[in-house]
Amino acid sequence: MTDDDRRDAVTPQQRQEPDSGNAPAVPAAGPAPAGEPEPPEGQPVPDRFEDPGLPEHRPRSTDRDPRAARRAEFQVAALFSLSVTGTLLALAAYYTVQVEDDLGVAELLGRLRLSTLLLGIGLFLALFCVGAGVVHWARRLMPGEEWTEHRHVLRGSDTDRAEARRILADGAAESGLGRRPLIRNTLVGALALAPLPAIALLRDTGPLPEDSLSRTFWRAGLHLVRDPEGGRIRPDDLVVGSVVHVMPEGVDEAEHPLEERAKAAVLVIRLDPEDLDQESLGGAHEGIVAYSKICTHMGCPVGLYEQQTRHLLCPCHQSTFDVSRHCQVIFGPAKRPLPQLPLTVDPEGYLVAADGFREAVGPSFWERG
Amino acid sequence: MSVTDEPAATGAGGEEIGVPDGTDRGTGGPSTAGPAGSGGTRTARAAGAVGTFADERFGASRIVRGFARKVFPDHWSFMLGEIALYSFVVLLITGVFLTLFYVPSVAPTTYEGSYAPLNGQQVSEAYASTLRLSFDVRGGLLVRQIHHWSALVFAAAILVHMFRVFFTGAFRKPRELNWVVGVVLALLAIFEGFAGYSLPDDLLSGTGLRIASSILLSIPFVGSYLSSFLFGGEFPGEAFIPRLYTIHVLILPAVFVLLISAHLFMVVLHKHTQYPGPGRRDDNVVGYPFYPVYLAKAGGFFFIVAGITTLMAAVFTINPIWAYGAYDPSPVTAGSQPDWYMGFLDGAARLAPGWWEFTAFGHTVSLNVLLPAVVLPGVLSIVAILYPWLESFVTRSRREHHVLDRPRNAPTRTGLGVMAITFYLLLLVSGGNDIIATQLHLSINAITVALRVLVIALPPIAFLVTKRICLGLQRRDRDLVLHGRETGRIVRTEQGEVYEVHEPIDERERWRLVQHQAHRPYEPPSPDETGSGNGHSVTVRDRLRSRLNRFYFRDRVDPVTPAELAAAQASGHGTGPGHGTGEGRSTEAPSTEAAGTTTER
Amino acid sequence: MTTPQMNPPQPTAEARGAGKDTVTAPTARRRRRMATALLVPIGLLTTGLAYTLLAPGSAGAAPTGAEDVSAGRELFLANCSTCHGIDAGGRDLAPSLVGVGAAAVDFQVGTGRMPLRASGPQSPKGSKVTFSQEEIRRLAAYVASLGPGPEIPGASAVDPTLGDPSRGALIFRTNCAMCHNFAGKGGALTQGKYAPDLSDTSPTHIYEAMLTGPGSMPVFADTTLDSESKRDIIAYLDTINEAPSPGGLALGSLGPVSEGLVAWVVGLSALIGCAVWVGARSS
CB A301 within 8 A of CB A265: yes
B199 and B257 belong to one structural domain: yes
Per-residue pLDDT, B536 = 59
3-state SS of chain A: helix, strand, coil percent to 5?
Answer: 40, 15, 50
Which residues, 6+ apart, have CB-to-CB distance to B226 below 8 Å? Answer: B216, B219
Residue A264 touches chain C, beta carbons under 8 Å: no
CB A298 within 8 A of CB B211: yes
Which residues of chain A neighbour C170 with C-beta distances below 8 Å?
Answer: 228
**Mean pLDDT, residues B565-588:** 52
- Tell me the shortest Cα–Cα distance from A151 to chain C, in angstroms: 22
Q: Do B517 and A206 touch (CB under 8 A)?
A: no
What's the rounded Cα separation, in Å, for the pair A43 and B597? 13
Residue in chain B closest to A152 (alpha carbons) equals B9
How many Cβ pairs closer than 8 A exist between chain A and B? 478
Three-class secondary structure of residue B503 per DSSP: strand
Residue A237 touches chain C, beta carbons under 8 Å: yes
Structural domain harbouring B241:
76-339+347-405
CB C92 within 8 A of CB C84: no
Residue in chain A closest to B355 (alpha carbons) equals A335
Sign for the CA dihedral angle at C128, C130, C133, C139 comes to: negative
B401 and B486 belong to one structural domain: no
Degrees, nearest 5: CA angle B131-B136-B139: 100
* pLDDT at residue A15 tops 60: no
Instruction: Kindly report the number of other CB atoms within 10 A of residue B526's CB atom.
Output: 8
Q: Which of A85-89, B2-6, B318-322 has the lowest mean pLDDT?
A: B2-6
* pLDDT at residue B160 tops 50: yes
139-158 in B: which are within 8 Å (CB) of A?
139, 141-142, 145-146
Facing residue for C173 by CB, picked from B123, B149, B203: B203
* pLDDT at residue B103 tops 50: yes
End position of a domain, from candidates B367, B389, B405: B405
What's the rounded Cα separation, in Å, for the pair B351 and B373? 11
What percent of chain C has pLDDT above 90?
41
Residue A59 touches chain C, beta carbons under 8 Å: no
- In order of their start, the domains of chain A are 61-140 (no CATH), 224-368 (2.102.10.10)
Q: Which of B103-107, B344-348, B469-473, C149-153 has the lowest mean pLDDT?
A: C149-153
The mean pLDDT value of chain C amounts to: 80
Amino acid found at B105 = S
The mean pLDDT value of chain B amounts to: 86
C66-146: CATH topology is: Cytochrome Bc1 Complex; Chain D, domain 2 (1.10.760)
Which residues of chain A neighbour B270 with C-beta distances below 8 Å?
Answer: 154
Short-list C56, B391, B213, C223, CA closest to A295: B213
* Total length of chain A: 369
What's the rounded Cα separation, in Å, for the pair A357 and B7? 73
* pLDDT at residue B591 tops 80: no
145-184 in B: which are within 8 Å (CB) of C?
145, 149, 152-153, 156-157, 160
B104 and B48 belong to one structural domain: no
Which residues of chain A neighbour C23 with C-beta distances below 8 Å?
Answer: 228-229
Neighbours of chain B (3+ CB pairs under 8 A): A, C
Q: Do B7 and A30 touch (CB under 8 A)?
A: yes
CA terminus-to-terminus distance, chain B: 37
What's the rounded Cα separation, in Å, for the pair B185 and B422? 22
**Mean pLDDT, residues A267-275:** 93
Degrees, nearest 5: CA angle B110-B114-B117: 70
Degrees, nearest 5: CA angle B93-B99-B105: 155
Q: Where are the beta strands (DSSP E) in chain C?
A: 187-188, 194-195
Q: Which of B22-31, B220-229, B406-415 has the lowest mean pLDDT?
A: B22-31
B85 and B63 belong to one structural domain: no
Which residues of chain B neighbour A267 with C-beta distances below 8 Å?
Answer: none
Which residues of chain B neighbour A212 with C-beta distances below 8 Å?
Answer: 228, 233-234
Domains of chain C, by residue range, sit at 66-146, 153-243
* pLDDT at residue B596 tops 60: no
Per-residue pLDDT, B403 = 94
Neighbours of chain A (3+ CB pairs under 8 A): B, C
Residue B141 touches chain C, beta carbons under 8 Å: yes
Per-residue pLDDT, A216 = 93
* pLDDT at residue A34 tops 70: no
What's the rounded Cα separation, in Å, for the pair B134 and B322? 9
B67 and B122 belong to one structural domain: no
Residue in chain B closest to A215 (alpha carbons) equals B234
Find how far residue B77's CA is from the centre of its chain: 10
* pLDDT at residue C19 tops 50: no
* pLDDT at residue B91 tops 90: yes
* pLDDT at residue A166 tops 90: yes
Q: Do B522 and A22 touch (CB under 8 A)?
A: yes
Cis amide linkage into residue A257, ω under 30° from 0 = no
B60 and B185 belong to one structural domain: no
Q: Which of A46-50, A306-310, B201-205, C270-274 has the lowest mean pLDDT?
A: A46-50
B395 and B303 belong to one structural domain: yes
In CATH terms, C153-243 corresponds, of 1.10.940.10, 3.60.15.10, 1.10.760.10, 1.10.10.10, to 1.10.760.10
Which residues, 6+ apart, have CB-to-CB distance to B492 below 8 Å? Answer: B498
Instruction: State the angle between helix axes of B176-198 and B340-351 in degrees (0 to 180), rounded to the nearest 10.
Output: 90
Q: Best residue in A94, A317, A319, A330 to probe B by mutation, most B CBs within 10 Å?
A: A317
Three-class secondary structure of residue A303 per DSSP: coil
Domain membership flag for residue B585: yes
How many Cβ pairs closer than 8 A exist between chain B and C? 237
**Mean pLDDT, residues B529-548:** 73
Residue in chain B closest to C267 (alpha carbons) equals B153
* pLDDT at residue A232 tops 90: yes
The mean pLDDT value of chain A amounts to: 86
- Tell me the shortest Cα–Cα distance from B361 to chain A, in angstroms: 8
- The DSSP line for B533-565 is ---S---HHHHHHHHHHHHHHSSEEPPPPHHHH
* pLDDT at residue A212 tops 50: yes
* pLDDT at residue C278 tops 90: yes
Per-residue pLDDT, C63 = 54
What's the rounded Cα separation, in Å, for the pair A258 and B589? 74
* pLDDT at residue C237 tops 50: yes
What's the rounded Cα separation, in Å, for the pair B148 and B129? 16
CB B467 within 8 A of CB B552: no
Q: Which residue has the higher pLDDT, C128 or C230?
A: C230
Number of domains present in the structure of chain B: 3
- Tell me the shortest Cα–Cα distance from C121 to chain A, in angstroms: 12
Q: Are strands B498-503 and B284-289 parallel, antiparallel or unpaired?
A: unpaired
Please give the helix or strand (H or E) that residue C232 lies within, else none.
helix C227-242
B535 and B512 belong to one structural domain: yes
B551 and B539 belong to one structural domain: yes
B195 and B212 belong to one structural domain: yes
- Tell me the shortest Cα–Cα distance from B153 to chain C, in angstroms: 6
- The DSSP line for B41-92 is HHHHHHHHHHHHHHHHHH-HHHHHHHHTT-EE---GGGGHHHHHHHHHHHHH
Residue in chain C closest to B157 (alpha carbons) equals C268
230-259 in C: which are within 8 Å (CB) of B?
236, 239-240, 245-251, 253-259
Short-list B331, B107, B322, CA closest to B210: B331
The residues facing A328 across adjacent strands are: A322
How many Cβ pairs closer than 8 A exist between chain A and C? 152
Q: Best residue in A6, A63, A73, A127 to probe B by mutation, most B CBs within 10 Å?
A: A127
* pLDDT at residue A322 tops 90: yes
Determine phi and psi for A269, rounding to 5 degrees: -130, 140
* pLDDT at residue C198 tops 90: yes
CB B57 within 8 A of CB A44: no
Residue in chain B closest to A156 (alpha carbons) equals B8
CA terminus-to-terminus distance, chain C: 86
Q: Where are the beta strands (DSSP E) in chain A?
A: 5-6, 147-150, 224-226, 243-248, 266-270, 288-292, 304-306, 311-313, 320-322, 328-331, 340-341, 343-345, 351-353
Which residues, 6+ apart, have CB-to-CB distance to A65 below 8 Å? Answer: none
Domain membership flag for residue B11: no
Per-residue pLDDT, B234 = 92
* pLDDT at residue B227 tops 70: yes
Predicted confidence band at B437 (pLDDT cuts at 50, 70, 90)?
very high
Short-list B448, C78, B81, CA closest to A330: B448
Q: Decide whether C66-146 matches C153-243 in CATH topology.
A: yes
Per-residue pLDDT, A320 = 96
* Total length of chain C: 283
Domain membership flag for residue B13: no
Residue B550 touches chain A, beta carbons under 8 Å: no
Residue B298 touches chain A, beta carbons under 8 Å: no
What's the rounded Cα separation, in Å, for the pair C280 and B76? 7
- The DSSP line for B13-49 is -------TT----SSS-GGG-SSS----HHHHHHHHH
**Mean pLDDT, residues B482-494:** 85
Facing residue for C260 by CB, picked from B80, B106, B339: B339
Facing residue for B236 by CB, picked from A126, A131, A259: A259
Q: Which of B115-119, B492-496, C140-144 has the lowest mean pLDDT?
A: B492-496
Q: What is the DSSP letter of A20?
A: -
Residue in chain C closest to A121 (alpha carbons) equals C248
Short-list B320, B256, B354, CA closest to B115: B320
Tens digits of per-residue pLDDT, B237-277?
999 999 999 999 999 999 999 999 999 999 999 999 999 99
- The DSSP line for B557-600 is EPPPPHHHHHHHHHTT-SSSTT---STT-TTTHHHHHHHHHEE-
Facing residue for A110 by CB, picked from C165, C221, C244: C244
Short-list B383, B380, B351, B357, CA closest to B454: B351
CB B135 within 8 A of CB B114: yes
CB B178 within 8 A of CB B264: no
Q: Which residue has the higher pLDDT, B234 or B486?
A: B234
Q: Do B121 and C270 touch (CB under 8 A)?
A: no
Tens digits of per-residue pLDDT, B194-210?
999 999 999 999 999 99
**Mean pLDDT, residues C33-61:** 47
